[in-house]
Amino acid sequence: MPTWDDRQPIYRQLADRLAGALLDGDPPEGDPMPSVRALAAQYMLNPLTVGRALQALTDDGLLDSRRGLGLFVRAGARDKLRTLERQRFLEQEWPQLRQKLRRLGLQMDELQWEQA
């Protein structure tokens, strides 16, 4: 069973995971999202939690709610996501990482940028 860390509410972590999948094109733009029940079963979560996660993604403008049909991946979602992710990385994760690099005394050429 996937484990959830202690930093954020579970629904937020699920939303992030689903967003990550969207970035990879899963599901592609215009396609329907998996149902709440399917996601609940897949991630072993209460459907209410899954609902909150999907709501968060909708609020972020990544999903469209079409009446009677369910949730669909909005056109341009991947670009939007990439922008959001880049922003978050540059504003939050990168400064922490940079601090760590400095603390460890690692230089740019030691980072093996070319690999994988």
The sign one gets for the Cα dihedral 39, 45, 51, 57 is: negative
Part of the chain binding another protein (CB under 8 A), chosen from 40-48, 77-85, 90-98, 100-108: 40-48
Identity of the residue, 46 or 65, whose beta carbon is nearer to another protein in the bound complex:
46
Work out the angle at residue 62's Cα, subtended by the Cα atoms of residues 58 and 67, and round it to the nearest 5 degrees.
50
Minimum distance of another protein from residue 116's CB (angstroms): 27
Reported for 61-66, long-range contacts at CB under 8 A and 24+ positions apart, including other chains, are 62/19, 62/22, 63/33
Give, as one character, the DSSP assignment of residue 7. S
Part of the chain binding another protein (CB under 8 A), chosen from 22-30, 46-54, 86-94, 97-105: 46-54
Q: Judged by CB under 8 A, which of 19, 22, 33, 52 binds another protein?
A: 52
9: contact with another protein by CB under 8 A: yes
